[in-house]
């Protein structure tokens, strides 16, 4: 099992969710995060006041899938989240040792 973490542009969230639903991924955890990478923060000056944006708002989604689904999920996210501009985001894949559904105690694949 793998955990896929994708950091994407906030406005792409709905598109990505929909695309993932389309390939049968129904469950995911979504959070509002801030960060920066190549797309640095920036400073805006408007009417003499400085507006400094240190960190850029992003959406983070975490999905647990079976190892053989990883490629499909990554491809789907990339396709849906791409705008071609800087700051489109990143995807991380991490190993997962175990998954347990709290309500039933089911483990592994069953619990995803």
Partner 1 sequence: MADASFYNKPPAQIQFDGGIVGQTSMLHKVTDQQKTYGLRARKEALDALWKQGVSGHALLKQHTEFIDHHIQNSFDECEAAGKGFSLVALGGYGRKELFPFSDIDLMLLYERKAKKNLEKVADAVLYPLWDAGLEVGHAVRTVKECLADAKADFFFQVAMLDARLLTGSKSLFDELQDKYRRKFIEGHRSDFLREMLEYRAKRQADFGKHAYLLEPHIKESRGGFRDFQAMLWTAQFIFGLHGLHDLYDAGILTAAELEKLEEAYDYLVRIRNRLHYVSCRKNDQLYFEHQEEMARAFGFKNDKSRLAVEYFMRDVYGHMETIRVGTDLFFEHVNEVLDHDFKARDKKVLEPGLEIRHNRIHLASQELLNSKPILMMRLFTQSAKTGIPVHHRTKKLVSANLDLITEKQRHSRRMAQPFWALLTDTNDPLLGLTAMLETGLLAAYIPEFNKVESLAQHDIYHVFTVDRHLLQVIGELQKLRNKERSIFNTVKAEHVLFLAGLLHDIGKGFGTGHAERGGDLARTIGSRMGLSDVEVDNLAFLVRNHLFLSHTALRRDLEDEELIMRCAERVQSPERLAMLYLLTIADAKATGPSVWNEWKAALLQELYLKIALLLEHSDLSEQDKNQGAKLGARWMREKIFELLPHDADMDLAMLPDDYLLNFAPEDVVEHLRHRQGLAKKDILLFHEERQESWSLLLVTRDRPGLLAKIFGVLALHNLNVLAAQIFTWDDGTVIDTIEVSSSISQNYQDQNWQGLARDLDMAVNQRLGLEHRLYKKLAPLRKTIGGTEKRLDAKIEIDNRSSEIYTIIEAYGHDRIGMLYEITRILSDFGINIYRARIGTRADQVVDVFYVLDYDGRKIKDPAFKEELQEGLLYAVSNV
Nearer to partner 1, 87 or 91 (CB): 87
- Which alpha helices (DSSP H) does 1-112 contain, by range? 13-22, 70-81
Selected binder of partner 1 within 18, 24, 29, 53 (CB under 8 A): 53
44 binds partner 1 (CB under 8 A): yes
* Of 21, 57, 67, 108, the one binding partner 1 by CB under 8 A: 57
What 3-state class would DSSP assign to 81? helix
CA 65 to chain centre: 14
Residue 56 lies near partner 1 (rule: CB under 8 A): yes
Half-sphere exposure of 20 (CA within 13 A, CB side): 26
Binding stretches for partner 1 (CB under 8 A) = 9-11, 14, 32-34, 44, 46-49, 51, 53, 55-57, 83, 85
């Amino acid at each position: 099992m793998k955990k896929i973490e994708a950091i994407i542009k906030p406005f792409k969230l709905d598109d990505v969710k929909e695309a993932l639903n389309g390939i049968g991924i129904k469950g995911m955890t979504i959070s509002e995060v801030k960060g920066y990478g190549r797309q640095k923060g920036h400073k805006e000056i408007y009417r003499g006041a400085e507006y400094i944006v240190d960190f850029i708002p992003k959406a983070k989604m975490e999905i647990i899938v079976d190892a053989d689904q990883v490629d499909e999920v990554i491809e789907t996210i990339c396709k849906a989240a791409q705008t071609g501009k800087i700051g489109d985001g990143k995807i991380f894949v991490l190993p997962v040792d175990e998954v347990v559904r709290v309500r039933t105690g089911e483990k592994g694949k069953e619990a995803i």
